[in-house]
Structure 1
Amino acid sequence: MVTTPAVDETTGAGGPSGAAARADGVTKAYGAGDTQVLALDQVSVSIERGAFTAIMGPSGSGKSTLMHCLAGLDSVTSGKVWVGDTEITGLKEKNLTKLRRDSIGFIFQAFNLLPTLTAAENITLPMDIAGTKPDQEWLDTVVNTVGLSGRLSHRPNQLSGGQQQRVAVARALASRPAIIFGDEPTGNLDSRAGAEVLQFLRKSVDDLGQTIVMVTHDPVAAAYADRIVFLADGRIVDEMIDPTADKVLDRMRGFDAQGRTS
């Protein structure tokens, strides 16, 4: 079972090896006074290194907001967030940008590939912009893991949707970030292509030791994770270890029933 590491107050890291990311009492509010909306309400969560964590919840539960705060894409109203041993709350924008570039990978629902570049050029683009050279051995491992060896010279319009998302996955993995965040990464794919991408994400955890956090509404997608964190009304209300699609679906139906009776 996944456990939350004890907090080391001197470093802000969780336990000897620390967590890949951690939120401590995070609140995110929009508006003020009577019109204030709490997207997150005193959320504390620890993301284990080398594991696949899914974040689920009803629409408006705060799952994407939590991911954006953990990834440093959005600021918090109160509380603290760490990526590895670095507290990112209050970090200067220049330093936050560098941390995101060096330590975090992103996979979004939209593939966000440049149409004029080949698959290989799209994969290495963030490193090219940063002026760093990829580790060729690692890059070859990533390309083989996601099954793109025969597609590197193709441009996005020559690839299927599933292949384009695999390019996006490889791009996120290529710089060997400490953690990868995926926001509905299979949302624009059919079931077969979505399953392919999820298998590659699972494989990147199992074979490459990657850490992945994925927001999804899909019980089948969530079942690929090691652990699911459930949110409702801006709070963590449950978690599930070693999920199956049926167990996740039952839990989500429970949320729907609670919503109808509340």
Structure 2
Amino acid sequence: MSDTSSRTATVTGRHAADATPVASARALTKVYGSGDAAVHALAGVDVDFTRGEFTAIMGPSGSGKSTLMHCMAALDTPTSGTVVVDGVDVSTLKDAALTRLRRDRIGFVFQSFNLVPTLSAAENITLPLDIAGRKADVGWYDTVVDILGLGPRLGHRPNQLSGGQQQRVAAARALIGRPAIVFADEPTGNLDSRSSAEVLGFLRRSVDEFGQSIVMVTHEPSAAAYADRVVFCADGRLVDEMRRPTAERVLDRMKTLGDL
């Protein structure tokens, strides 16, 4: 079966998405600098991310896609507008509550892995729970480790792992606490094609089988093709979206945005 046929079969039988947004933004703006030097990274964005769906964000360099994700993930503070994550208005939270939100309801997968070099793979996976003083659900831990093929590597430190293995550890860490939503920022940017497919396949499976909600920033049409939906940014705004994307359709749309 071809990759496209396999993905189509998977999506057709996937976990049903909940129509309720797991995260949303209204009139979201982000301005860097002031006066003539002001840069409007986001210029009034309205967006909903549906619970139980895999959404990719794409756009040319400087389009605002990473800024949008960082504001949605409570990693950056918008200049104005509202962000709601899992029913919580992020703008109303004090520092301690914001830290708890990021720790308990949001998972992160970054291009640079962000693993702690002195910890083993197993310790990196459970780190968010350890910080929160919570125990990992043993069944869920075993499921994630098994799906990602990390069992033989749990005792290894990051410098003993390949880039693909490190990113799989990072993906496991993002999901171990069963967050409401996972944000992935160019998660395959440092990986070869095989490792990329392994990581993206796991993210796809976590949506299909476990109802996870994922928002991924990527510049790769082949990566975006794993998503249910692609939203396109240009000049700090959302300018289009695509359902059931293919790499070819995404590539054609990106060409019109001037990215290629």
Length-normalised TM-score, structure 2: 0.90
2:141 touches 2:176 (CA, 8 Å); kept in 1? yes
Which residue is 2:15 aligned to?
none
> Matches of residues 185-200 of structure 1 in structure 2 within 5 Å?
185-200=187-202
Contact 1:40 1:233 in 2 (8 A): yes
Partners of 2:19 and 2:203 in 1: CA distance:
23
Instruction: Provide the C-alpha distance between the structure 1 equivalents of 2:229 and 2:91, rounded to a whole number of angstroms.
Output: 25
Q: Are 1:85 and 2:103 matched, yes or no?
A: no
Instruction: State the distance in 2 between where 1:115 and 1:98 align.
Output: 24
Give the superposition deviation at 1:100: 0.6
Match of 1:74 in 2: 76
Where 1:89 maps in the other structure, the secondary structure is helix
CA–CA separation in structure 2 for the residues paired with 1:77 and 1:157? 39
**Aligned equivalents of 1:220 and 1:170: distance in 2?**
22
Q: Cα 1:17–1:86, aligned 2, differ >3 Å: closer, same or farther?
A: farther
Q: Confirm or deny that 1:239 pairs with 2:241.
A: yes
Query: For the residues of structure 2 that align with 1:42 and 1:223, how far apart are their CA atoms?
Result: 27
Question: In the alignment, is the contact (CA less than 8 A) between 2:19 and 2:50 conserved in 1?
Answer: no
Per-residue CA distance 1:162-203 (angstroms, 9 max, x = gap): 111000000000011000001101101111111111111111
Q: What is the root-mean-square deviation in Å for CA atoms of aligned residues?
A: 1.4
- 1:63-98 per-residue CA deviation (whole Å, 9 max, x = no partner) reads 000001101111111111100111001321111111
Q: Offset of 1:149 from its aligned partner?
A: 2.0
Q: What does residue 220 of structure 1 align with?
A: 222
- Alpha-carbon distance, 1:17 to partner: 6.6
Aligned to 1:49: 51
Contact 2:58 2:65 in 1 (8 A): yes
TM-score by length of 1: 0.90
1:99-132 deviation digits (Å, cap 9, x = unpaired): 1111000000011112222111110011111111
Superimposed CA distance per residue, residues 231-254 of structure 1 (whole angstroms, 9 cap, x where no aligned partner): 000000000000000000000111
* Residue 161 of structure 1, CA deviation: 1.0
Give the conservation status (yes or no) of the 8 Å contact 2:144–2:172.
yes
TM-superposed deviation, 1:49: 0.5
1:64 to 1:173, Cα distance in 2 relative to 1, 3 A: same
Q: How many residues align?
A: 243
Aligned to 2:112: 110
Q: Secondary structure at the match of 1:27?
A: strand
2: CA distance between counterparts of 1:52 and 1:17? Answer: 13
Q: Name the SS for the 2:156 alignment partner.
A: coil
Instruction: In structure 2, list runs of 5 or more residues that go unmatched.
Output: 1-17
Percent identical among aligned pairs is 66
Could you tell me whether the CA contact under 8 Å between 1:145 and 1:203 is conserved in 2? no
